[in-house]
Amino acid sequence: MPVGEQIVGDGGMNLTSSLELTSSLINQLQRAFFELKSYEDVSNDDIRWEDVEGHFRCLESELKKKLEELEAKERLVTEKESLIAERETAVAAKEQDLLDGVQELKDAAVAAIMEARAAHKALLRH
């Protein structure tokens, strides 16, 4: 599952959807900013829309970069998990082969002991 779908913000929106709404939210903020600036008593402040927009565009860019980094890390983790699973399968197969070999040796040892015992009993009877 991609990182953007895993990280859920307020209201249940995933990070990717939230990033897509950023431009819309910035436009809403711009309208509110200009409405606020339209009042005479507030317009004395030296805050320009370009500064506010630049700040939020920078935040948006940083969020997108972080999302891309997280997705890249997620891909690496998925690849490593796959390699680990392959190695676990190989180790399990080798382990089973070794156990089978040990069992064969045990069976051969028991058979040799039984043969030797039978031969020894046969010698004692004669």
Q: So what's the pLDDT on residue 40? A: 59
pLDDT in tens, 100-119: 999 999 999 999 999 999 99
Q: So what's the pLDDT on residue 4? A: 47
Position 43 pLDDT exceeds 80: no
CA dist 6 and 93 (Å) reads 35
How many domains does one find in the chain? Answer: 1
Residues forming beta bridges with residue 8, ordered by sequence position: 14
58 or 49: which leads in pLDDT = 58
Six token digits for residue 70: 């997280």
Six token digits for residue 22: 């950023």
23 or 69: which leads in pLDDT = 69
* pTM for the structure as a whole: 0.52
Average pLDDT over residues 12-28: 77
Average pLDDT over residues 14-29: 80
Task: Find the domain containing 62 and state its range.
Answer: 3-125
Q: Which residues contact 64 (CB under 8 A, 6 or more apart)?
A: 19
Q: Work out the pLDDT band at 9, boundaries 50, 70, 90.
A: very low
